[in-house]
Amino acid sequence: MSIFLAQLLTGLAYGMLYFMIAAGLTIILGVMNVVNLAHGTLFMLGAYIVFTFISDELNFWIALLISVLLTAVLGIILEKLLIKHVYGKELEQVLLTFGLSFIIADVVKWIWGTEMQTLPVPALLDASLSIGEMVFPLYRLFVVFIGCLLALLLWYLESKTRIGAIIRAGVDDRAMVGALGINVGLVFTGVFAFGAALAGLSGALGGPLIGMYTGMDNEILVTSLIVVVIGGLGSWKGSFISAILVGVIETFGKVWFPSLSMLIVFLIMMVVLIIRPQGLFGREVA
- C-alpha 275 chain-centroid distance: 25
Bigger pLDDT: 52 vs 55: 52
φ, ψ at 244 (rounded to 5°): -60, -45
Q: Which helix (H) or strand (E) element contains residue 128?
A: strand 128-131
φ, ψ at 136 (rounded to 5°): -130, 140
Q: Which residues 6+ apart lie within 8 Å of 232 measured at CB?
A: 238, 278, 279, 280, 281, 282, 283
Query: How does residue 193 score in pLDDT terms, banded at 50, 70 and 90?
Result: very high
pTM listed for this prediction: 0.89
State how far the Cα of 15 lies from the Cα of 184, in Å rounded to an integer.
32
pLDDT at 11 over 80: yes
Could you report the per-residue pLDDT of 163-176, keeping only the tens digit for each? Answer: 877 776 766 666 77
Query: How does residue 57 score in pLDDT terms, banded at 50, 70 and 90?
Result: low
Residues in the chain: 286
**E-assigned strand segments in the chain:** 128-131, 134-137
- Give domain limits for the chain: 2-214
Among 57-66, 152-161, 181-190, 199-208, which is the least confidently predicted range? 181-190
**Residues 241, 203 contacting (CB under 8 angstroms):** no
**Residues 201, 66 contacting (CB under 8 angstroms):** no
> In this predicted structure, what is the pLDDT of residue 147?
93
